[in-house]
Amino acid sequence: HAKNDGGKKVRAFEPFMHEDFLMHRQIESGLQEALANDEFTLLFQPIVDLETGKTRSCEALLRWKHPELGDVSPAVFIPVAESAGLIGDITEWVLRKACEAAAGWPEDVNVSVNISPALLKQTNLPVTIIETLVNTGMVARRLELEITESVLLDKSPHTNSLLRQLQKMGLRLCLDDFGTGFSSLTYLRSWEFDTIKIDKSFIRNIANSPTDQKIIGAVVQLAKSLQVATVAEGVETEEQLDRVRDAGCSRVQGYYYARPMSAEQASHRLASEAVPDDGTVQIVNLR
């Protein structure tokens, strides 16, 4: 506890820390009920292929409405779910909802699901995924797993074999938040990612920052030489779009194209994209 001499200063922080702690506890206990009480929603945000102008995949993004706290950001509750051991059940739900939605989309549109690095330490992830694919009628090659590199990835033989197993199953792997981690290049060397997602912090100032432009250009060239696709995340303006296009980026995700939307809105959008230029409506979604 605070010493007498410095006590005043330390105490000033106590109410804040106490509130923080209570908030954490409230989120943790809330999360325990959230699945049962149907408090989660899954939104989908298009990732657009710059060559075709069409949606290549939609990223599933989790939303949670706490009965008292209201909307809580996944950036806040996902880490709590991880430390409370709840991320496995939540991810299972996300995978199911994401695959259920994607099973009704045109067959050339994938779905991207964020996988917490904590889950790569467990053995049952491939089993959960196989069960989900079977139960929803989704094919493995249309499921992309996004793994953030902002957490130091465990390079144990176990993580290695798990990632390889997932690839052998036909799933695609995406290295999320590229550039924010500790050893981006090491990850690229260790595992065969199909895609890297350049973190939105590099995109934010791209229109005014020659340095950021050069970094993105170099990352895209590196990725190309490794036959890895690049997604620019957080593109909000036409200027940013022009710059990432100039850099040779293959795909774009951001508010410029679309904000995260409901499953229903996503399937409407994808169906309308599937309408060819001559105006004839293609019958998609036949199952």
Q: Which residues bind ligand C2E (CB under 6 A)?
A: 45, 60-62, 73-75, 78, 94, 114, 116, 146, 148, 176-177, 200, 233-236, 253-255, 260
Phi, psi for residue 286 in degrees, rounded to 5: -75, 125
Please give the structure tokens belonging to residue 169: 């199953």
Residue number, 148 or 230, with CB nearest to ligand C2E: 148
CB distance 175 to 193 below 8 Å: yes
Tell me if 144 contacts Mg ion by CB under 5 A.
no
Indicate whether 146 belongs to the interface with Mg ion (CB under 5 A). Answer: yes
* Residue 110 β-bridge partners: 57
**Residue 116 contacts which entry, ligand C2E, Mg ion, none (Cβ below 5-8 A, type-dependent):** ligand C2E
What's the min distance (Å) between Cβ of 124 and ligand C2E?
A: 16
Q: How many CA atoms lie within 13 A of 26 on its CB side?
A: 14
Which CB sits closer to ligand C2E, 144 or 177? 177
Minimum separation from the CB atom of position 79 to ligand C2E (A): 9
Tell me the site size for Mg ion, rule CB under 5 A: 6
Smallest distance, Mg ion to C-beta of residue 58, A: 11
Q: If you search the block for the tokens 């000033």, which residue do you land on?
A: 12
Q: Is 184 in the site for Mg ion (CB under 5 A)?
A: no
Q: What's the CA gap between 170 and 84, in Å, rounded?
A: 31
Candidate list 55, 110, 114, 253; residue touching Mg ion; CB under 5 A:
114
Nearer to ligand C2E, 2 or 152 (CB): 152
Residue 184 interacting partner from Mg ion, ligand C2E, none (CB closer than 5 to 8 Å by kind):
none
Q: In terms of CB distance, is 116 or 195 closer to ligand C2E?
A: 116
| CB closer to ligand C2E, 181 vs 260 | 260
Q: Considering beta carbons, is residue 44 or 274 the nearer one to ligand C2E? A: 44
Residue nearest to ligand C2E (CB): 254
Contact 194, 174 (CB under 8 A): yes
CB of 175: closest distance to Mg ion in angstroms? 10
| Alpha-carbon span 249 to 53, nearest angstrom | 13
Q: How far is the CB of 225 from ligand C2E (least distance, A)?
A: 25
**Quick one: which segment of 121-129, 152-160, 230-238, 244-252 binds Mg ion (CB under 5 A)?**
230-238
Segment contacting Mg ion (CB under 5 A): 24-32, 88-96, 114-122, 164-172? 114-122
What CA dihedral angle connects 33, 80, 159 and 234, to 10 degrees? 110
Q: Is 240 in the site for Mg ion (CB under 5 A)?
A: no
